[in-house]
Amino acid sequence: MRKFILSLATLILILSSCTEEIDTSARYVFSEYTIVSYLENHEEYSQYVELMKQVPVSGRSASTVYQLLTARGNYTCFALTNDAINEYLQSLVDEGLISEPSWDAFPDDRKRDSVLKVVVQNTVIDGGDMESERYTLAQITSFASSKENAEFPLPNIYDHKLTATITKNDTIFIDKVCGMDPRNRDIPVINGVIHQLHKVIAPKDESCARYIQNILDEQREGYLMFARALQVCGLLDTLSKVRDEAYETLYQAEGDALDMKNYMDKGGYDMTNIQGDPHAYAPEHRKYGFTLFCETDDFWQSQGIDPKAHDAVEKLQEWIASNGMYISDGGYQVNTDYTSPKNMLHQWLVYHILPMRIPANKLVYHCNENGFFYTTAKYTIPVFEWYPVFGGGRLLKIYESAESNGIYLNSFPERDNAITGTGHESYCDPAKRGVLIDVNSEKAVLSDIVNACIYPISTPLAYTDQVREDLGRERIRFDLFALFPEAITNGIRRADSQLGKWQHVFVSLYNRYNYFDNMKIMNAETHFIHYNGYKANWANYSGDEDKAFGHFDIMFRLPPVPVRNTYEFRYKLLATAARGIVQVYFGSDPDNLPVAGIPIDMTKNVEAFFGEGATWGDLSDAGKDDDEIIDIDHKLRNHGLMKATKHEHDSQVARDKNNCSRHIIVRQTLDPNETYYVRFKSVQPDLTRPELYLDYFEYCPKEIFDSPEKPEDIW
C-alpha cells in the first residue's frame, strides 16, 4: 500500500489554511483501519455506523452491512455524515411520510426497515476479490470523465447502478445530486476506499410506468406530452415490467448450480483466465428495461401544442401526419384507436423506445476501434449500434464519432473510407446529422427509474422515407450481444469489470428456461458462454466474443432489414485450433431453415480458405497498391470470403490478421416485414475441437457490395 509522509511544515500549512473543521486524515493510507474502524473513529459518521448494524447485506444473508465492512474485501463506501442523515429524515417529514425527523417516527417497522435498506445498501459497492474493483478517485475519473452521468461498472449491494458526474470544477456528484466531499474522499483503508457524502443516495427506484403516471397525476411539465401519448397508446402496462420473477425463483432455488464449473476444461484456452477464476457464472437476475428518447414539452409548445390541452393528443397526431414524421411499409391509420399497432401515433411513439435499459456511457461502445485505447480514451473513428425498436419492426441507429460532438440518432455522415483513408468522419450534411441525445441535460432521468432511462432529444425523431433509405444504404454490422436486450439491461454486455462473474457468463438452460428471447439452444449438448473480454486486448468487435461448446446447435433471431433489397448476410470468424466445423442455416422459417453453403472449418485462416497455394503474403494488404488490394478482395469474394475489417484491433487491426475473416453466408432478397434466423450446428465428428466462435454479423445491401462506382470500403 501507499504511504505518505508529510513534513511538519506541510502539515502545519494544511491545518492553518483551513477555516472549517475538516478531516485531513484523508490524505493518509490507514493501514491499521478497516472501513468500519475508520468510521467508528470519526464521530461525524456515528449515525451511519449504527444504521449499518441494523441492515442486512441482502435478503439471502443474515450478516449486516456493518459486519461486511469489517471483513476482508474490496469495498467502496460512500459514507454518510450525521448531517446528511438528519437532512434526509427532515425531507421525509416534509413529504409527510413521518411526523418528526427520527427513525422512531415511522408508522411501522416494515416501512422503517425498507427505508433503512435504501439509505445504507446504496452506499456500498462490493468489488469481490479484486483490489482493482475498489472505486478510487482515479478510477471514477477514468470512467466518468468522457461521459456525464456515467454508470459505475458494478452495482451496489442494493443492486442499483450509481452514476457519477464530474463538473467543470472537478466536483463529483453521485446520482446527479449527492456531492462527494472534495477533501474527505479517496480515503484508502485495509478493505477498500471511503468517500464522504453530505447527501443520502435515495433513488426512487420506481418503474417507468409509475414515473410516467406521476407526471400525469401531477400534470408535471417536461415530458407531459410524451406521457399522455404513452397513456393513450396503452403502453404503461408494458413499461411497468421490472424483472422476470420466474427466473428470480429459479436462481433463488438453484443459485450456483446454474453456473458452469471449471469451464476451462470444456472450453479451451481463454486469455482472460489469467484472473484465476475457472468458472463461468449464470446471471443473477433477468430484469426488463427500456430506453426512451423524448421530445420535451418546450418543443411541443414551440409547435403550438399545449401538452395540458384536452385535445393535445389529437393535435400531436395531426402534427406528425402533416409534417411527414412517420412512414410505414405496412400502412397505418390516422384515427383515435391509439392502442392499435396500426395507428400512426402508436407506431411513431414506439419508434422512440428501445426494449432495453441503456445507461449514458453505454449508448455506444468505445472499446477497441481503430486508434482508440483504454489508456487515453480519445475518440477516433465512428462507432455505432443498430437496434430494433420496441416491437421489433424498425431499426434505430445510434452514432458517435470524434467529430460529431455528441451521440446522435439516425446520423448519416460521410467518412474517409478509402483504402488509404483515416476512417474518420469527413463531412456531414446538416440535414443528415440526426437527432442529438442530450445525455447531460437536467431532464435526463437515469437513476430514479429502476427499469428505464429517459433522454431528452434536441429535435423530433422521425422515420421518414429519407431515413429509411439512408438506413437501407448502410452496411449494418451488429455484435452478437446487440441482439439481446436482456444482456444490455442486465449489464452483461461490455461490463467494465474483470471479476469472473462478469468476464464469463454462462447461459445454457436447455428446455428449462430461455434467458435470451432472440437465442434458442437446440440441444442439451450446447453450452453457451459470453466472454466479456474487458481489457483482454482481442481483435473482436467491441472486444467481446461468444462461444458454444460441445456438439453445439444454436439459433438466433436477427434484426429486420431496413428496406426490401438484395443483401449479403455475413459471419465474422477468428480462427484458432480450438474451433470446430459448423454448418450454417439461414431463412425465415425457424422450424425449417435451409442450409446456407458448405460447412465452415473454423480452424482455417484466410489463405487456407482461399486455397490455390496462396500465402498470407499474397493476400494481405502489405506492400500493395490500391488496385492490387481491390483485385485481391474481388478474388476472395469469389470464394465467398472477405478479410476482416480495419475497424477493430488488438496489437494490429483485424484486417491485417490472417486468422480473421468474414464469410458470406447468403446473398438473397430480404424483406423488412419478414423475420430471419441463423442457425449454427456442429458437424464435428468428435469433440477434439468443440468451439463455435461468434462475434458479429453483417447485412450488406447490393448497392454497397456490388457498386459499379466504387468497391466496398475496408472499414
Q: What is the CATH number of the domain that holds 512?
A: 2.60.120.260
Considering the domain architecture, whether residues 167 and 129 belong to the same structural domain is answered as yes
Q: Which residue has the higher pLDDT, 213 or 273?
A: 213
pLDDT (0 to 100) of residue 412? 98
pLDDT 10s digits, 134-155: 999 999 998 887 667 889 999 9
Is residue 295 scored above 80 in pLDDT? yes
Beta-carbon count within 10 A of 27 CB: 15
Confidence of residue 272 (pLDDT cuts 50, 70, 90): low
Q: Give the residue from 160, 178, 197 where a domain finishes.
A: 197
Contact 282, 507 (CB under 8 A): yes
Beta-carbon count within 10 A of 418 CB: 13
Kindly state the percentage of the chain with pLDDT values over 90.
82
β-strands 696-701, 476-479 pairing = antiparallel
Considering the domain architecture, whether residues 304 and 186 belong to the same structural domain is answered as no
Confidence of residue 8 (pLDDT cuts 50, 70, 90): very low
617, part of any domain: yes
End-to-end CA distance of the chain: 45
pLDDT (0 to 100) of residue 271? 55
Considering the domain architecture, whether residues 149 and 229 belong to the same structural domain is answered as no
431, part of any domain: no
Average per-residue pLDDT for the chain: 92
Contact 397, 409 (CB under 8 A): yes
Contact 116, 239 (CB under 8 A): no
Contact 371, 385 (CB under 8 A): no
Considering the domain architecture, whether residues 230 and 188 belong to the same structural domain is answered as no
Q: Report angle CA 257, 263, 266 to the nearest 5 degrees.
A: 120
pLDDT (0 to 100) of residue 14? 33
Displacement of CA 71 from its chain's centroid (Å)? 32
Considering the domain architecture, whether residues 187 and 305 belong to the same structural domain is answered as no
pLDDT (0 to 100) of residue 562? 96
117, part of any domain: yes
Considering the domain architecture, whether residues 179 and 215 belong to the same structural domain is answered as no
Considering the domain architecture, whether residues 75 and 223 belong to the same structural domain is answered as no
pLDDT (0 to 100) of residue 636? 97
User: Distance (Å, rounded) from C-alpha 395 to C-alpha 455?
Assistant: 18
Tell which residue, 278, 626, 238, 620, has the closest CA to residue 452. Answer: 238
User: Distance (Å, rounded) from C-alpha 123 to C-alpha 140?
Assistant: 15
293, part of any domain: yes
Considering the domain architecture, whether residues 522 and 667 belong to the same structural domain is answered as yes
pLDDT 10s digits, 194-248: 999 999 999 988 999 999 999 999 999 999 999 999 999 999 999 999 999 999 9
Tell which residue, 429, 481, 235, 242, has the closest CA to residue 350. Answer: 235
pLDDT 10s digits, 654-680: 999 999 999 999 999 999 999 999 999
Is residue 2 scored above 60 in pLDDT? no
Confidence of residue 615 (pLDDT cuts 50, 70, 90): very high
Considering the domain architecture, whether residues 157 and 221 belong to the same structural domain is answered as no
pLDDT 10s digits, 621-655: 999 999 999 999 999 999 999 999 999 999 899 99
Full domain range(s) for residue 22: 8-197
Domain count for the chain, please give it. Answer: 3
Q: Tell me phi and psi for residue 112, to 5 degrees.
A: -60, -45
pLDDT 10s digits, 300-337: 999 999 999 999 999 999 999 999 999 877 678 899 99
Confidence of residue 263 (pLDDT cuts 50, 70, 90): confident
pLDDT (0 to 100) of residue 275? 61
459, part of any domain: no
Confidence of residue 16 (pLDDT cuts 50, 70, 90): very low
578, part of any domain: yes
CATH of the domain at 113: 2.30.180.10
Mean pLDDT to the nearest integer, 17-44: 68
Considering the domain architecture, whether residues 124 and 226 belong to the same structural domain is answered as no
User: Distance (Å, rounded) from C-alpha 73 to C-alpha 127?
Assistant: 7
Is residue 28 scored above 80 in pLDDT? no
Considering the domain architecture, whether residues 128 and 217 belong to the same structural domain is answered as no
pLDDT 10s digits, 491-542: 999 999 989 899 999 998 898 999 999 999 999 999 999 999 988 888 999 9
420, part of any domain: no
pLDDT (0 to 100) of residue 7? 34
Considering the domain architecture, whether residues 138 and 232 belong to the same structural domain is answered as no
CA distances from 441 to 147, 445, 458 (A): 12, 9, 10
pLDDT (0 to 100) of residue 269? 59
Confidence of residue 688 (pLDDT cuts 50, 70, 90): confident
451, part of any domain: no
